[in-house]
C-alpha cells in the first residue's frame, strides 16, 4: 500500500483506534507486510477478489470444502507412515496420552471454527480430559484467502509461551466473526484485547505479537503439512508412531473421530 494513501485512510479511521495503541498498530502493519512477503508464493488463489463479491468467495470456498468432505471414507483409510511429527507445537491434554490427534488448522477458517465449537468439546469430554487422547495444534494458515490467519497464529503462539494457548485458541475460534473480516491492524488490536481478558502479561504478549516472533515456527508447520499432503483445513492425523496414523479431512463430526480412536485404543 502506498504510504500516502495509507496515511489518508488511517486518518479517516483514527477514531476507531485508541491513541495509546497508535504506535503498536503502525508496528503491526509493518510486521504484517513482512509476514505477507514471507509467505508470498506459498499459496495461489484462483479467485480474483476484485471480480467476485465476499459472499461469492465464501460460497466458493464452502462448496470446495464440502466436496472434499463428501469424498472421505475415514473408516476405510489405510494407516499413514508412522512419522507424522507433532514438532514442539502446543498440546491440549495429557502429554503422555496413548493416542495423538495432530491437527493442521487455520484460525480464520470457518470449518476449523465449526470443528472447535461443535466437535472438540465432545472429544474433550470423552477422551482428552480422561487422558487417553491429546490434541497437538499445528498451524496451517492459508494466507491467500485468510489474511488475518497468520497474525492469529502468532497471537496463539505468544499466548502459549505464557502457558495459555488453550484460552487464546478458544477465544480466537469463538469470536472468529469479530476479527476475521477486519483490516489486519484492527484484528491485531482485538488480539491484544483478548490477551488482556485471559490475563496474559500484556507487555510480553504485545512485544511477541508486534515482532511476529513465531513466523518461522508457523512456516515450519506449513512446510510439514504440505509434506504430509495437507491441502485444506482442518486436517487431522490420528494415532501414534507405533501404530501409524489415520488421516481425517475437514470438519468431521465426533462419530468419525470416535470410530478411528476406539479402533486404535483396542489394538
More confident residue, 81 or 142: 142
Is residue 118 in a domain? yes
CA dist., res. 126 & res. 133, Å (int): 9
pLDDT at 30: 44
Least confident span in 14-18, 82-86, 131-135, 164-168? 14-18
Range 58-66 average pLDDT: 54
Range 140-146 average pLDDT: 94
Q: In CATH, what number is assigned to the domain containing residue 240? A: 3.40.30.10
125 phi and psi angles, rounded to 5 deg: -70, -45
Residue ranges making up the domain that contains 230: 3-46+81-266
Q: Which of 10-14, 103-107, 241-245 has the highest mean pLDDT?
A: 103-107
CA dist., res. 157 & res. 209, Å (int): 9
pLDDT at 215: 95
All three cell numbers of 110, joined, read 470457518
- 147-163 pLDDT per residue, tens: 999 999 999 999 999 99
- 1-11 pLDDT per residue, tens: 433 333 343 34
Is residue 38 in a domain? yes
All three cell numbers of 174, joined, read 469463538
130 phi and psi angles, rounded to 5 deg: -90, -5
* pTM, two decimal places: 0.73
62, pLDDT greater than 50: yes
- 178-226 pLDDT per residue, tens: 999 999 999 999 999 999 999 999 999 999 999 999 999 999 999 999 9
In this structure, the number of other CB atoms found within 10 A of the CB of residue 5 comes to 9
CA dist., res. 72 & res. 231, Å (int): 14
pLDDT at 207: 96
Strands 99-105 and 133-139: parallel
CA dist., res. 56 & res. 72, Å (int): 25
CA dist., res. 228 & res. 242, Å (int): 18
In this structure, the number of other CB atoms found within 10 A of the CB of residue 197 comes to 11
- % helix / strand / coil in the chain, to the nearest 5? 55, 10, 35
All three cell numbers of 14, joined, read 483514527
Identify the helix (H) or strand (E) that includes residue 249: strand 244-249
Is residue 250 in a domain? yes
Is residue 174 in a domain? yes
Is residue 191 in a domain? yes
CA dist., res. 2 & res. 169, Å (int): 34
CB 120 within 8 A of CB 169: no
All three cell numbers of 206, joined, read 504485545
Range 98-108 average pLDDT: 98
pLDDT at 267: 76
25, pLDDT greater than 80: no
52, pLDDT greater than 60: no
Is residue 101 in a domain? yes
pLDDT at 73: 40
Is residue 53 in a domain? no
Range 30-51 average pLDDT: 44
pLDDT at 28: 53
Identify the helix (H) or strand (E) that includes residue 202: helix 202-210
**Domain count for the chain:** 1
Strands 244-249 and 235-240: antiparallel
The partner residues of 100 in beta bridges, in order of sequence, read 134, 239
255, pLDDT greater than 70: yes
Is residue 51 in a domain? no
User: Could you say which DSSP state residue 161 is in?
Assistant: T
Amino acid at each position: 500500500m502506498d504510504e500516502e494513501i495509507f496515511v489518508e485512510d488511517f486518518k479517516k479511521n483514527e477514531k476507531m483506534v485508541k491513541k495509546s495503541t497508535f504506535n503498536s498498530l503502525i508496528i503491526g502493519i509493518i510486521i504484517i507486510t513482512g509476514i505477507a512477503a514471507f509467505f508470498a508464493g506459498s499459496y495461489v488463489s484462483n479467485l480474483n477478489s476484485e471480480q467476485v463479491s465476499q459472499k461469492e468467495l465464501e460460497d466458493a470456498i464452502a462448496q470446495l470444502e464440502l466436496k472434499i468432505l463428501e469424498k472421505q471414507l475415514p473408516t476405510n483409510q489405510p494407516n499413514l507412515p508412522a512419522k507424522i511429527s507433532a514438532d514442539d507445537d502446543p498440546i491440549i491434554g495429557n502429554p503422555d496420552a496413548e493416542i495423538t490427534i495432530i491437527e493442521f488448522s487455520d484460525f480464520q477458517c470457518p470449518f476449523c471454527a465449526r470443528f472447535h465449537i461443535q466437535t472438540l468439546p465432545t472429544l474433550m469430554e470423552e477422551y482428552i480430559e480422561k487422558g487417553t487422547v491429546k490434541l497437538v495444534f499445528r498451524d496451517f494458515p492459508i494466507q491467500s484467502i485468510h489474511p488475518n490467519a497468520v497474525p492469529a497464529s502468532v497471537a496463539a503462539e505468544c499466548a502459549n509461551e505464557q502457558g495459555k494457548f488453550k484460552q487464546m485458541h478458544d477465544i480466537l475460534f469463538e469470536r472468529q466473526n469479530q476479527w476475521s473480516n477486519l483490516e489486519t491492524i484492527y484484528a491485531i488490536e482485538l488480539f491484544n484485547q483478548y490477551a488482556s481478558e485471559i490475563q496474559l502479561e500484556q507487555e510480553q504478549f504485545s512485544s511477541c505479537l508486534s515482532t511476529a516472533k513465531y513466523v518461522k515456527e508457523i512456516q515450519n508447520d506449513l512446510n510439514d503439512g504440505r509434506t504430509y499432503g495437507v491441502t485444506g483445513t482442518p486436517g487431522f492425523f490420528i494415532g501414534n508412531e507405533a501404530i501409524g496414523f489415520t488421516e481425517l479431512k475437514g470438519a468431521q463430526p465426533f462419530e468419525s473421530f470416535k470410530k478411528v480412536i476406539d479402533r486404535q485404543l483396542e489394538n
